[in-house]
Structure 1
Amino acid sequence: MIKSTRATAKDVARASGVSQTTVSFVLNGAAGHVSEVTRERVRQAARELGYVPNGSAQALRTGASRIVLLNVEGIPTGSSLGNYIRGLDAELAAHHHVLLVLHGHLSSQDLSDVAQAVSARAVIDLADSGRADTITADTGASLIAFSAQAEVPVRYLAGQGHRNIATVLPDTPELQALAGLRERLMRRAVEAADLPGCPTLVLPGDLGAAEERLRSFRAEHPEVTALAAYNDDVALVTLAAMRQLGLRAPQDLAVIGFDDSPHGALFSPALTTVHIDAEALGRISARTALGLPAADATPEPAHVIVRQSG
């Protein structure tokens, strides 16, 4: 069997110390969020190895198709994601492009392969903030939408008189990257508000396990009077566990969610939550992916929907 000695993207990735997806986007001219230092390191490794992109990669570089990929693996399918996709799709359609949404379990290489197979104009990867250097469109606003804006619930809870605030994260492996981002931003927001440290409560989706976890957390942190949840689903698990323990919201613990999902208003007590203008964020991502100005698509500021739980 004859083995080809031609250099591959994997060889370039190994030589330059980056992922294969980063190599693909750099060498195909679609690495808008990769630093210039990293780009040059990849290009240098490719030159030294004699790497030549294949025909599909060349098509990606020239933007031959009018397809934009959106990878949403692991992102909670709440109101914000739906509105984000709606805005992204509408803006792309207005500029005669098509949105292809990927929900499957994709590695960085899988995502790169799909992008090359369809000669994608751009790739927006919401699945893992750890792969942020491989995104071709500006997903900064997208990550803010789905994991950040931590100052909004912190500012609200502090205004209600709470000084000891904890963040509640999901015990879900596929959400760990975004949940970790939220945790860091919550701590930063608490520090900026000159409040005491922000402990973290990780809750499983199972109600019985969540009840035990919350019971232990209360014993360890009796000073905490308010909980800012990762999203509305986590907030509702929190409220359900509180009910099992005989705790009231907001008298014993104030609870605020994130996403303004419709079912939050149907719970008792009705869930206080954070609303974001995700549709505008989708339009911004679409324009950025196409290299168009996005200044006139400024989203409305995130704000708190005040109900009974907080």
Structure 2
Amino acid sequence: MAAASGVSRATVSFVLNDDPHQTISAATRDRVKEAARTLGYVPHGVARALREGTSRVVVLNIDADLEGRYSRSYIDGLDAELAAHGFVLLVRHGHHTQAATQQVLDAIAPRAVIRFGETYLTGRGLDDMGGGWRDGLAAHAALQLRYLVDRGHTRIALALSERESPLASTRTKFAGLAAKDLGIPQLDCVIVPTERSACAEAVAELLACEPAVTAFAGFNDDVALRVMTALHDLGRHVPNDVAVIGFDDNGYGEYCSPALTTVFVDAEAHGRLSARLALGLGEGGLRPPPARVIVRESV
């Protein structure tokens, strides 16, 4: 390929590996890529892994209960950005122990292992496109509460999944900070089980203890839909008696009655950012679009 394109072997290597630290003209890159196509060049994965010390695989660990619209768009962005730089994405679903992750490291020597949503959860000082107040989980938790407050609700319950997770604890913290910033009382929290009668009992107990609550902010749409079903079973009308807002728009909320108002987050840019940071490429000016409330009938 070097001879066919009239460049050095090193230049061919830089182009084929898309080395971000090398300045190579577009014309030279095009010549090398054209030579590769003409000669039918296909990279040898095992040989490349031996030379580079890692494979061209990036692993994403994601817990099953975090799957939703956010995770789907995040994975789409992550996969697209990795593919653009010649890497392959391997997604591992479920609970991930340190021992299981080590088995993956030993078996395929991935270039990186990404914990799903890490930049979204934590950020850098809560001030950027990570878990911050601009484009991250803190901002989106505040958006959900602000929508309720703007419609007159000041006593709000945060409805959570029965499964504990880093995302749930972080979300609860951000929601509490947002409530303080909005000048409303601290949120009442309720765990809503998946079993229907148990869910209704949990919601009924919360409303009996805190009768001033007029709205529920769901951890996600699944939880919000459980709350709506529980309120129906308890003879409470949504939104006239109690309002409900979801989070992450799983696509099912528009088919219930009343249709579920929810927060929509496009996470493709978060996925692309995670890919670039894992590959050491920097942020590249990526900026996710603002989250928005999808207004339906439940608030």
Contact 1:63 1:120 in 2 (8 A): no
Report the Cα distance in structure 2 between the residues aligned to 1:176 and 1:220, rounded to whole angstroms: 26
2:166 pairs with 1:180: no
Are the counterparts in 2 of residues 229 and 255 from structure 1 also a CA contact under 8 Å?
yes
Q: Partner residue of 1:269?
A: 258
5 Å-filtered alignment, 1:208-227, equals 208-227=197-216
Indicate the SS of the match to 2:206: helix
Question: Of 236, 250, 272, which residue of structure 2 is paired with 1:283?
Answer: 272
- AA matched with 2:104: V
Distance 1:273 1:119, change over 3 A: same
2:105 & 2:149 partners in 1: Cα distance? 45
CA apart distance, 1:67? 0.9
Aligned pair in 2 of structure 1 residues 114, 285: CA closer, same or farther (>3 Å)?
A: same
- CA deviation after TM superposition for structure 1 residue 205, in Å: 0.6
Distance in 1 of aligned mates of 2:264 and 2:250: 9
Q: What is the deviation of 1:218?
A: 0.4
Q: Secondary structure at the match of 1:208?
A: helix
Paired residue secondary structure (2:173) = helix
Deviations 1:188-218 (A, max 9, x none): 1101111111110110011111111111110
Structure-2 separation of matches of 1:99 and 1:127: 15
Report the 3-state secondary structure (helix = DSSP H, G, I; strand = E; otherwise coil) of the residue aligned with 1:282: helix
Relative distance call for 1:232 and 1:190 in structure 2 (3 A) is same
Aligned position for 1:243? 232
- Local SS of the residue matching 1:149: helix
Does 1:169 pair with 2:160? yes
Aligned to 1:93: 83
- Structure with larger Rg: 2
| TM-score, normalised with respect to structure 1 | 0.72
Give 5+ residue unaligned stretches, structure 2.
1-48, 123-127
Deviation at 1:176, TM superposition (A): 3.0
Gaps of 5+ in 1: 1-58, 133-137
**Which whole-Å CA distance do the structure 2 matches of 1:72 and 1:95 have between them?**
22
Distance 1:251 1:286 in 2: 45
Q: Secondary structure at the match of 1:187?
A: helix
Is the counterpart of residue 109 in structure 1 residue 86 in structure 2? no
Measure the CA separation in 1 of the matches of 2:186 and 2:53.
Answer: 48
Q: Secondary structure at the match of 2:165?
A: helix
- Matches of 1:225 and 1:165, distance apart in 2: 6
d(CA) in 1 for partners of 2:177, 2:136: 17
Alignment match, 1:152: 143
Taking structure 1 as reference, are residues 280 and 128 closer, same or farther at Cα in structure 2, changes over 3 Å only?
closer
The answer as to whether partners of 1:89 and 1:98 remain within 8 angstroms in 2 is yes
SS at the partner of 1:274? strand
Task: Tell me how large the CA RMSD over aligned residues is.
Answer: 2.7
Shift of 1:105: 3.0
Letter in 2 for 1:246: G
Match of 1:74 in 2: 64
